[in-house]
Amino acid sequence: MSLLSTIVLAAEEAKAALFFPAWVFPLIAIAVFASLGFVVHSFRDVANRHSHKVDSSASVHGTDHH
């Protein structure tokens, strides 16, 4: 047998045990995605809350030439 067929046969015989059942992994992904979405949502209006700082520093630095 060739090396490739030996590797394929060895990979078919080995069964990897998972830490959790297969249906748990999508739930973990959904929970991580939802928590990251919550973090992004909580910072969604930060630029508008601090717009007075941007306006005052733009006039000082001469960047209002647009």
From first CA to last CA, the distance across the chain in angstroms is 72
Q: Is residue 40 domain-resident?
A: yes
Position 2 in a domain: no
Instruction: Give the helix/strand (H/E) hosting 3.
Output: helix 3-13
Query: How many structural domains are present in the chain?
Result: 1
Question: Does the pLDDT of residue 2 top 80, yes or no?
Answer: yes
In a domain, 42, yes or no: yes
45: domain range?
Answer: 20-66
Measuring CA to CA, how many Å separate 47 from each of 2, 10, 19, 51, 62? 62, 56, 43, 6, 20
pTM attached to this predicted model? 0.51
Please tell me the distance from the alpha carbon of residue 66 to that of residue 56, in angstroms, as a whole number: 16
Give per-residue pLDDT as tens, 8-55.
777 766 577 888 899 999 999 999 999 999 999 998 887 777 667 666
Cα(38)–Cα(45) distance, rounded to whole angstroms? 13
